[in-house]
Structure 1
Amino acid sequence: MKNLMTLALLFVAVVSAKAQNNKLTGKVTDVDNSPLMGVNISVVGTGLGSQTDFDGAYSIQNVEAGTYTLQVSYIGFKTKELVVTIAGNVENNIDTIKLYEGNEILKEVIVNGERVNKFSRKSTAYVAKLPLKDLENTQVYNTITSDLLVSQITTKFDDALKNAVGVDKLWSSTGRGGDGSGYYSIRGFSVQPQLVNGMPGLTNGTINAANIERIEVIKGPSATLFGSSVTSYGGLINTVTKKPYKGYGGEISLTAGSYGLSVLSADFNTALDKNNDIYFRLNTAYHTEDSFQDAGFKKSFFVAPSLSYRVNNKLSFSLYAEISEAEQTNATSLFLNRAAVSASTTVEEMGYNNKLSYTSNDLSIENPTSNYRVEMDYKLSDAWQSQTILSKSNTSSKGYYSYLYEYGILDPNTFTRQISKENSKTYTTDIQQNFIGDFKLGTLRNRIVAGLDYYQATNINQGSGFAFYGNVLPNGDTNGDNPFTPDVETDAYPLTEAGVLSVLASQTANNIKSETSTYSAYVSDVLNITPALSAMASLRVDRFDNEGDITTDADDYAQTTLSPKFGVLYQPILDKLSVFANYQNGFTNVAPSLVGDPADGPQTLKTFDAEQANQLEFGLKTNLFNGRLNATVSYYDITVSDKVMTDPTSAFNKIQDGEVESKGIEIEINANPINGLNIKAGFSNNDSEITKTDNAILAGTRPIEAGAETLYNLWTNYEFQEGNLDGFGVGFGLNGASESSIINYGPGGTFDLPSYTIYNSSVFYQADKYRVGLKLNNMFNETYYKGWTTITPQQPRVLLANFTYKF
């Protein structure tokens, strides 16, 4: 902390020395003198700029004295440029600028010079379903930008998420039906990345990094605006894809690395008509990779076409698609016994040989996935906009899935392989209608979104049941003794497709089709009481209809839930510093349960309310030194209540009295102290506890889904700006975690994964048309693991080389 404080003081001194007192102000209107809000004002060649507020006013701080070109652009209006002269140490007010409607869409603004704070994004329309600046938003979120991903030569979604504060990987993608993508822990609760551009976008595999514009990790229970199906109590992960832009261009990139890694990707953007109203963009990638273990591979082909069509000044359409064909072997995971204490308490004590995969390349699983979205935006008036979105997602699992489980029946540390043949599909449909307004009632500005949401999911499972297929020990020994038979057996179980098929021939194939539907309405209003003081209030009404297995009505149920959200925010220094507090809610629908002593007669079906999570949080956000220092510091406290548990007074009854508490702090810093130097750093500490449960052993323990208690990350990137080294750069960073209990029975016993710190570095040269880079991940070849009742070894040292050509 002392070193961090010294660095911060040095940063303040350097940037403050460069600060100017000059200010550029003015106003923008249309031809009828009506103020225009959201107009982009750019001081060409400086990286400085601003947007107009509700009254059409703008203010640009710290402009050095001199003569500049001011570029004024707004969608649906002709872009305007004018020359302005800035005097020193005064407020320079420019005459009112009038914009005229035209046929051009908003131009891509190319700034000559270094863009300030490349690793930070100051606004987004997804987190609040409103175009809010970060300083105006009472919710905490972390953004992983495309600039950061390029700097780190990122080819994997897992590696990208290492830059998000307080996100801990729990479980690698398994590819199996229903829940085959990776799991992560946020604020003590597990979550999967299931949103794309704010809409459901499911996958049973991994997300391809080639089409990522940025990743938004939205913190805290977020059911009010996003529902419960694709969120968790700790937050959600939203992937924002690359979209068409005005202009012609693109790039071709090749990345090669250790363990057979090869990624060839392309990005192409162009107009499709002479009026520049229709733009098309295509991203595609082919990815192959072997394993650092004795067997294992991944390969995928990905294509993502997108189209934007501006019909006129009021109406526009957007179409997006992501189509992927992926195949992989199961990631190695040793499942510890979830119902008993393991024979070992650490990986070292177990004697685990992490170079073994316990699989073969004959046993793979395929995950074809496609996501489609169509969006229509219509400007109803100067104050209101209509947004209609249709999203469809299809994902499948075909092939072999196996896991290794420590039943505790055979010798200690013996893991039994269970294997099945997957054949499943998941279809989702989501339709949203949003009305977005920005208007004044008296002197109070209201930014409001009111929406309707219909989400439907269908799951089809026609795969086989699980079959015994031999045992393994952590040191690599094998045997064929089935723990569920009385005899001692010595059969061989070869890791071949033919061998597996012969065993699965006796398994009955599933034929299950289930459906769920959710009907929701929500409204959220951000009210500016003064320019510096705002309050947010939101409410969702959610109707969940579970049809379950469509061949029977026994598992059908429905629930209606209200989900509120509130926040208050004050900016002591307008557009530079804000302090905030929020209350956020999440929920999970709970199925009915049979209760009553069977000896007294037939059991009855008891229904329950939805399980609830409520968060209280407060903190501060900064945007200091002309955007060069963006920081967020927050403290949160989440209580999950109404968890269904066995009644302590009756073993045949269920009550809603279970409870989990999770609280902690998070700190994120994005800094650009001098031109060419960008820094992203984060620290989190989470304290989670099961406070009420029907299992006395678990009372007072940390939930195993909470992951590591302490997490930290850092990435710094410097590019020389002038001289003989102009264009050369270096990068350095680290990721670390404290010890993590993947089995936790408190005094009864734990299994702990060790703490770790992983160091990474890079060197690169960047020119106008190309970029060459080298990246070394896990520089010191640290051995470390991830897990959630599982042990999964992580990748050792890897060298990556990248060449990108831009056109």
Structure 2
Amino acid sequence: MKNLLSTLMLFVLIQFSYSQNASLSGKVVDNNQSPLIGVNITVKNTAKGIETNENGEFEITNIENGTYQLIISYIGFKTKEIEFTISNNENISLNTITLYEGNEILNEVVLDVNRKNKFSRKESAYVSKMPLKYIDNSQVYNTVTNQLLVSQNVNTFEDAIKNAAGVTKLWSSTGRSGDGAGYYSSRGFAVQPQLVNGVPGITNGFINPSNVERVEVIKGPSGTLFGSSVTSYGGLINIITKKPYKGTGGEISLSGGSYDFSKLNADINVSANDKLSFRLNAGFQQQHSFQDAGLKKSVFIAPSLSYQFNNNLTFNFSYEASSNEQTNETFLFLNRYAPLAFSSIDDLNYDTELSFTSNDVTIQNITQNYRGELAWKISDQWSSQTLISGGIAKSLGYYTYLWNGSDELFNLYAQDTDSKTKTTNLQQNFTGTFKIGDLQNKLLVGLDYLNYNIIDNSSNWGYLHTINLQGDLVYGEPAINEENLSTALNGIGNLNSDVSQNIFGAYISDVINITPSLSVMGSVRYDRFDYQGDRNDTSDDDTEYIESAFSPKFGIVYQPILNELSIFANYQNGFSYLDPQYITDFDTGEVTLQSYDVEQANQFEVGVKSNLFNNKLEATLSYYNINVDNKYYWATKTQDLEINSQGIELEINANPIDKLNIHSGFSFNDSEITNSPSATFLEGNRYGESGPEITYNLWADYKFFKNFGAGLGFNGQSEYDTMVDYKSVTGSFNLPAYTIFNASLYYETNKYRVSVKANNFTDETYYSGWSTVTPQQRREIIGSFTFKF
């Protein structure tokens, strides 16, 4: 009996060993044989997947016998597919697998299951237009990740951009003609969000964040790779939209909260087969103001698709259409030409509950943007990217603002807007790697064409009434409504302007790895500007001006600890084409058309980047110094300002302990107008676009249990003079410093997420402005429910 039991036990063990499934293992490295961390490894048509560890290694277990396709994908690298066969439950090792760098494609596979530092996502193919890891890049950029947006339950683009170190809001979106998008300050200069997925994407209104996958804020003058139309000397804002992926799934979200906030969003992805993936994102959002009047409404639809012809050729297309309607936020424009009757918020004596508008007076923005991409893998070393993109942004309705005409009184002016901005962009990029001797080169060669056309049939400006900041009527029509505005604007004429600009650009960039730890980068761009416009409707003679500009860029990176710590320095150039201006000689009455040189800005920057403790501490600290020598000054229409802007920036993404993620930023900016021959009273002043000297932000997210978590954070800035450009004439007007606290609670499973968010939960009264005063959002509570499938 004993022998029989032993025999049966042996038989069971043999059968059990044969029934075990096999495993697949390997190591993923780049072209320099450095291990790649966090590479997505998936077995096609199965639920099996994993990410590579800190050594670039992976192992997938419990694979049944059969033939499979292994998909290896990593942002900034070309996806590789490997066929493998499991037989007799034998374990297989693929040894070392090399991924070659290439453009980011839309159907990337992203697994976040094993990702610990969830607020860190620095790899991008947009910033350098070539695959370049963040720690290898001599340029600084901040990334606001999707995980951070979800953790904070972000419902406005303004709340999203607060997470970028050193970026602060100057103006909210106005919806007005031409430049109605929000204005933000970065490194001492104003910038608007005008780049979508790496190409121009124009909007005149506010941005619905429901289709935003992440936001990249690229710092410093970036004209060499991106030209002048979408950049400022402080940097640029690149919005990355949600893209299709292989698989079927999605989510439906419903939110509601303070001031009649409501939001419905649907995000659905479908893969018809292995080659075609389609994603549809659509939603509606609205909210009333915390003041006595004011509203914002937005509806959008954003389909996108990806079709993979074969392993070497992929076509990607994305489209977004939105219709926004809003009342004008309270913009108190302070008098720029005479001494102010007040110098602080207390002196202003403004009741912030008053909006001085009506819900019947709105402006609409209808926006469409499209982007088509043909990504061709020519070889393991070379790839081609062909892009065509464009858009149209319309402004329709009433734009109003309040101007401090005299003493403590404000005049309300209005315009009936009817304008559209159209863009068409063509790009061709070739990227590749090659060796010259022992030197590894990463090369980008690109061509760029942009047509920019503004057609403006808006009315001239009309006056409605004069009030004080307690809402008392002093003179004019008592009510602000559509009927009174129509009467005020009747018979005053229209602008009838049609201005077009064609920009032809060519650029080349080369990153040379002298050693695995030392690399240098050199880039140059040439642009030719062909400006075509007219003098409103007073002349039939079109004007045409042609200018050109060169823009160089250099960088150096040294890594004392390879892939973990780098020391970098860069020289970057930015430039700006200035439209010709009509100048009136008041002595003779003669009107002439004045052209200008292309503005130039130059930055020198040094800093340190880290990716330590297995990506648990990602940090960047840098010092920058930007000089503009020929800045245009709008009041004198001369080009003789000299501006210096310098400062430090710090950004940290950390995962110090399990389930705790931290994102924080700090900046200090010192800006000064160093020379101004045509307006000497400006010399020594801080440049008006610079905003506050100090900004800071922090957000921490901690999961107490498996499904329950909480977030807590703050953002703030120092006091600043919103009239600094004009204070020699007007005196100063200081907007007070503030710190805003926010918090959230959530419960999340694989099927749903329930969250509640409190913004400004201490109900702080605070302001933004740029020679203006605008009260900001008071305390709001928003609850959200998301169903995942």
TM-score by length of 1: 0.86
Are the counterparts in 2 of residues 204 and 395 from structure 1 also a CA contact under 8 Å? yes
The 3-state SS of whatever aligns with 2:487 is helix
Are the counterparts in 1 of residues 170 and 769 from structure 2 also a CA contact under 8 Å? yes
The residue number in structure 2 matching 1:378 is 376
Report deviation, 1:25. 8.3
User: C-alpha distance in 2, partners of 1:164/1:464?
Assistant: 38
The residue number in structure 1 matching 2:523 is 538
The size of the alignment, in residue pairs, is 734
The residue number in structure 2 matching 1:359 is 357
Gaps of 5+ in 2: 1-24, 43-47, 64-68, 74-78, 88-92, 100-104
The residue number in structure 2 matching 1:468 is 463
The 5 A counterparts of 1:239-278 are: 239-273=239-273, 276-278=274-276
Report deviation, 1:598. 8.6
The residue number in structure 1 matching 2:82 is 78
Report deviation, 1:577. 0.3
User: C-alpha distance in 2, partners of 1:689/1:562?
Assistant: 26
The 5 A counterparts of 1:383-394 are: 383-394=381-392
- Provide the identity percentage: 49
The residue number in structure 1 matching 2:663 is 680
Q: C-alpha deviations, 1:303-327, integer Å up to 9, x for none?
A: 1100000001211100000100111
Amino acid across the alignment from 2:213: E
The residue number in structure 1 matching 2:608 is 620
Report deviation, 1:603. 8.5
The residue number in structure 2 matching 1:167 is 167
Counterpart check, 1:768 vs 2:750 = yes
Gaps of 5+ in 1: 1-23, 51-57, 84-92, 481-490
User: C-alpha distance in 2, partners of 1:472/1:450?
Assistant: 58
The 5 A counterparts of 1:26-175 are: 26=27, 41=39, 49=52, 59-60=55-56, 73-74=72-73, 75-78=79-82, 95-96=95-96, 108=109, 110=111, 113-175=113-175
Counterpart check, 1:512 vs 2:497 = yes
| Greater mean alpha carbon deviation, residues 601-610 or residues 369-378 | 601-610
Cα 1:248–1:782 shift into 2, 3 Å: same
Counterpart check, 1:587 vs 2:584 = no
Cα 1:68–1:190 shift into 2, 3 Å: farther
Amino acid across the alignment from 2:215: I
Report deviation, 1:756. 0.3
Report deviation, 1:507. 1.9
The 5 A counterparts of 1:307-456 are: 307-408=305-406, 412-456=407-451
Report deviation, 1:66. 13
Equivalent residue for 1:715, pick from 699, 704, 720: 699
User: C-alpha distance in 2, partners of 1:792/1:105?
Assistant: 39
Q: CA RMSD in A?
A: 3.1
Amino acid across the alignment from 1:192: Q
Are the counterparts in 2 of residues 246 and 279 from structure 1 also a CA contact under 8 Å? yes
Q: C-alpha deviations, 1:369-390, integer Å up to 9, x for none?
A: 0001111111222221111101
Amino acid across the alignment from 1:497: E
Report deviation, 1:542. 0.5
Report deviation, 1:109. 5.7
User: C-alpha distance in 1, partners of 2:474/2:588?
Assistant: 47
The 3-state SS of whatever aligns with 2:135 is helix
The residue number in structure 2 matching 1:632 is 620
Counterpart check, 1:292 vs 2:305 = no
User: C-alpha distance in 1, partners of 2:300/2:206?
Assistant: 11
User: C-alpha distance in 2, partners of 1:374/1:517?
Assistant: 20
Are the counterparts in 2 of residues 517 and 544 from structure 1 also a CA contact under 8 Å? yes
Report deviation, 1:643. 2.7
The residue number in structure 2 matching 1:796 is 778
The 3-state SS of whatever aligns with 1:78 is strand
| Greater mean alpha carbon deviation, residues 585-594 or residues 432-441 | 585-594
The 3-state SS of whatever aligns with 1:349 is helix
Cα 1:386–1:710 shift into 2, 3 Å: same
The residue number in structure 2 matching 1:500 is 485
Cα 1:598–1:709 shift into 2, 3 Å: closer
Amino acid across the alignment from 2:377: K
The residue number in structure 2 matching 1:665 is 648
User: C-alpha distance in 2, partners of 1:726/1:603?
Assistant: 72
User: C-alpha distance in 1, partners of 2:267/2:588?
Assistant: 68
The residue number in structure 2 matching 1:785 is 767
Amino acid across the alignment from 1:446: N
User: C-alpha distance in 1, partners of 2:197/2:431?
Assistant: 17
Q: C-alpha deviations, 1:180-211, integer Å up to 9, x for none?
A: 11000000000100000010000110111011
| Greater mean alpha carbon deviation, residues 535-544 or residues 603-612 | 603-612
Amino acid across the alignment from 1:195: L
Cα 1:27–1:159 shift into 2, 3 Å: closer
Are the counterparts in 2 of residues 114 and 676 from structure 1 also a CA contact under 8 Å? no
The 3-state SS of whatever aligns with 1:295 is coil
User: C-alpha distance in 2, partners of 1:149/1:39?
Assistant: 24
Q: C-alpha deviations, 1:669-699, integer Å up to 9, x for none?
A: 0001122110001000000000111212211
The 3-state SS of whatever aligns with 1:158 is helix
Amino acid across the alignment from 2:52: G
The residue number in structure 2 matching 1:700 is 684
Report deviation, 1:608. 3.9
TM-score by length of 2: 0.88
User: C-alpha distance in 2, partners of 1:343/1:29?
Assistant: 64
Q: C-alpha deviations, 1:753-795, integer Å up to 9, x for none?
A: 0000001111111111111111111011000000111111001
The residue number in structure 1 matching 2:18 is none
Q: C-alpha deviations, 1:27-69, integer Å up to 9, x for none?
A: 6799xxx99998975689997526xxxxxxx9438x9x99999
Are the counterparts in 1 of residues 28 and 36 from structure 2 also a CA contact under 8 Å? no
Q: C-alpha deviations, 1:494-540, integer Å up to 9, x for none?
A: 22211211222222133221111100000111111111111110000
Report deviation, 1:666. 0.2
Cα 1:231–1:68 shift into 2, 3 Å: farther
Amino acid across the alignment from 1:355: E
Cα 1:700–1:804 shift into 2, 3 Å: same
Amino acid across the alignment from 1:533: L
User: C-alpha distance in 2, partners of 1:234/1:453?
Assistant: 22
The 3-state SS of whatever aligns with 2:160 is helix
Amino acid across the alignment from 2:365: N
Cα 1:515–1:81 shift into 2, 3 Å: farther
Amino acid across the alignment from 1:540: R
Are the counterparts in 1 of residues 262 and 287 from structure 2 also a CA contact under 8 Å? yes
Report deviation, 1:366. 0.7
Report deviation, 1:609. 2.5
User: C-alpha distance in 2, partners of 1:442/1:776?
Assistant: 59
Are the counterparts in 1 of residues 504 and 529 from structure 2 also a CA contact under 8 Å? yes
Counterpart check, 1:738 vs 2:718 = yes
Are the counterparts in 1 of residues 36 and 55 from structure 2 also a CA contact under 8 Å? no
User: C-alpha distance in 2, partners of 1:73/1:39?
Assistant: 12
Are the counterparts in 1 of residues 188 and 234 from structure 2 also a CA contact under 8 Å? yes
Counterpart check, 1:728 vs 2:716 = no
Report deviation, 1:726. 2.0
User: C-alpha distance in 1, partners of 2:494/2:582?
Assistant: 28
The 3-state SS of whatever aligns with 1:368 is strand
Report deviation, 1:493. 3.4
The 3-state SS of whatever aligns with 1:406 is strand
Are the counterparts in 1 of residues 700 and 713 from structure 2 also a CA contact under 8 Å? yes
